[in-house]
């Protein structure tokens, strides 16, 4: 058994699967982080991922073009983010309650929409998927080439995005504005920052990123859609933000940890190691809870979750 476990752990396939499974989580987590740093508590990532996953699947299936599916998912993600922004920024509704409502709405709506769009009998029909991009020269390297440089283009994109977001947060005036709005919106307004605009922009982009993460699940990896496809990944993504101390790099590393755990449980099942599969299935969620426990009282932005009224003292 120890020899088999060693084969599971010391395997290029495990690294490859970790990067694949991290991608949807990290897209959603970066979107949630963008919201969080602007003072909007977005635990509706699960619902946004579901909307993107279904849209990408249906459009790709109908048109035969996965890129149109991705584009449609981005539009739906932006619309979902805009809806959430209207509710929590303009109407200043409770952000936690609104996000929970969004998750419930999207869970039910995607199930109904699946039946309406493709019918019960064809709900599991495979959709066309995106081709793997092999980086010329690097993909042919021994050992690491096929593991690191032969992925879907969005795997490369999401890790690049984490670096870009870190640069924006700490090296640009727009990033400074986002962080100022999340920490002290009143002070930000006094120096000319449009708090409402910043929050709208970040929430809409949050929806886009989360929808792209959902699209990666449905047509990037599984080529299909089923009700509840995301299976709590939106909540795991939100946990990655907390465990990552509300920083892009920390969020990326936390997402990699959760992606590794998911890949590990799949590899263990594939090798037939005598561990109850029920335990393996819940392993990523156990690690998520342990990570939150270790993170303790991770301090987020001071104004996170607090509605803002412009011009009011």
Q: Would you place residue 12 in the very low, low, confident or very high pLDDT band (cuts 50, 70, 90)?
A: confident
Boundaries of domain holding 235:
2-124+135-224+231-295
Between 12 and 302, residue with greater pLDDT: 302
Any domain includes 130: no
Any idea which of 39-43, 79-83, 198-202, 268-272 has the lowest mean pLDDT? Answer: 268-272
Tell whether the model's pLDDT for residue 28 goes beyond 70. Answer: yes
Q: What is the pLDDT of residues 118-151, one digit of tens each?
A: 876 445 688 998 989 999 988 988 888 999 999 9
pLDDT of 269 strictly over 90:
no
pLDDT computed for residue 230 by the predictor: 94
Into how many domains does the chain fold?
Answer: 1
Q: What is the share, in percent, of the chain residues with pLDDT greater than 70? A: 91
Crossing angle, helix 173-183 and helix 12-37, to 10 degrees? Answer: 70
Residue 303 lies in a domain: no
pTM of the complete model: 0.94
Is residue 311 situated within a structural domain? no
Tell whether 309 is covered by a domain. no
Task: Let me know if residue 15 belongs to a domain.
Answer: yes
Taking 70 as the threshold, does the pLDDT of residue 10 lie above it? no
Is 198 among the domain residues? Answer: yes
Q: What is the pLDDT of residue 9?
A: 57
Banded model confidence at residue 110, pLDDT cuts 50, 70, 90: very high
Q: In this structure, what CATH number is given to the domain that contains residue 251?
A: 1.10.3470
Who wins on pLDDT, 111 or 177?
A: 177
């Amino acid at each position: 058994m120890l020899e088999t476990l060693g084969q599971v752990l010391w395997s290029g396939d495990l690294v490859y699967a970790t990067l694949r499974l991290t991608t949807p989580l990290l897209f959603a987590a970066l979107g949630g982080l963008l919201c969080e740093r602007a003072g909007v508590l977005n635990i509706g990532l699960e619902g946004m991922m579901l909307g993107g996953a279904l849209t990408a699947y249906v459009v790709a299936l109908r048109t035969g073009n996965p890129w149109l599916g991705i584009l449609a998912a981005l539009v739906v993600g932006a619309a979902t983010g805009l809806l959430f922004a209207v509710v929590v920024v303009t109407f200043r509704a409770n952000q936690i309650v609104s996000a929970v409502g969004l998750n419930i709405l999207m869970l039910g709506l995607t199930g109904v929409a699946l039946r309406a769009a493709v019918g019960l009998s064809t709900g599991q029909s495979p959709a066309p998927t995106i081709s793997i991009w092999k980086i010329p020269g690097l993909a042919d390297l021994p050992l690491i080439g096929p593991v690191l440089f032969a992925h879907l283009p969005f795997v490369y994109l999401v890790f690049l995005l984490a670096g870009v977001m870190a640069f924006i947060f700490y090296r640009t005036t727009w990033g400074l504005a986002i962080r100022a709005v999340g920490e002290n919106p009143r002070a930000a307004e006094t120096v000319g920052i449009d708090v409402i605009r910043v929050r709208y922009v970040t929430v809409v982009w949050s929806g886009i990123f989360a929808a792209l993460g959902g699209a990666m699940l449905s047509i990037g990896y599984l080529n299909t859609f089923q009700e509840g496809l995301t299976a709590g990944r939106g909540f795991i993504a939100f946990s990655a933000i907390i465990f990552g101390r509300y920083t892009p790099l920390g969020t990326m590393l936390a997402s990699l940890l959760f992606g590794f755990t998911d890949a590990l449980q799949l590899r263990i099942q594939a090798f037939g190691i005598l561990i109850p599969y029920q335990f393996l299935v819940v392993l990523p969620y156990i690690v998520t809870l342990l990570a939150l426990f270790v993170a303790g009282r991770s301090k987020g932005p001071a104004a996170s979750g607090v509605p803002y009224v412009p011009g009011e003292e």
